[in-house]
């Protein structure tokens, strides 16, 4: 089955740029989606199809995907961005499964 690998944690100072990676075999050939989850809340979609932003998501959130790594970038990080972030793909190989990365805890210092 397809595996997505995320770093468990990323720390960043306010106003700086945070980059959260999502590794997978030839992930660049798949569409990657990102979710933000704050404690006690349901996940919220922040990036879809690698780099598209849903309405209401700040332009500070952006995404890219190439080779074996997809990246969620958060510019000018704010305290309110502190959350868990999950990448997700649909594995259309023989498994036909939706796959999540293990999640990354973003800490704003």
Partner 1 sequence: QVQLVQSGAEVKKPGASVKVSCKASGYTFTSYDINWVRQATGQGLEWMGWMNPNSGNTGYAQKFQGRVTMTRNTSISTAYMELSSLRSEDTAVYYCARVVVRDYMDVWGKGTTVTVSS
Residues engaged in binding partner 1 (CB under 8 A): 1, 31, 33, 35, 37, 41-45, 48-49, 54, 86, 88, 90, 95-103
Closer Cβ to partner 1, 21 or 99, answer by number:
99
Closer Cβ to partner 1, 48 or 58, answer by number:
48
Tell the residue number behind the tokens 């995320």, with chain if given. Answer: 6
CB of 63 to partner 1, least distance (A): 12
Residues 6+ apart with CB under 8 A from 81: 18, 36, 74, 106, 108
Question: 60: exposed, middle or buried (C-beta count within 10 Å: 0-12, 13-18, 19+)?
Answer: middle
Closer Cβ to partner 1, 60 or 100, answer by number:
100
């Amino acid at each position: 089955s397809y595996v997505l690998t995320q770093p468990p944690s990323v720390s960043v100072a306010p106003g700086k740029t945070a980059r959260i990676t999502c590794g997978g075999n030839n992930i660049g050939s798949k569409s990657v989606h990102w979710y933000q989850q704050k404690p006690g809340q349901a996940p919220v979609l922040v990036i879809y199809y690698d780099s598209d932003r849903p309405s209401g998501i700040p332009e500070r959130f952006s995404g890219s995907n190439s080779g074996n790594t997809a990246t969620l970038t958060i510019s000018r990080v704010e305290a309110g961005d502190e959350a868990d972030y999950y990448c997700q793909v649909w594995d259309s190989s023989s498994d036909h499964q939706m796959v999540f990365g293990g999640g990354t805890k973003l800490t704003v210092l």
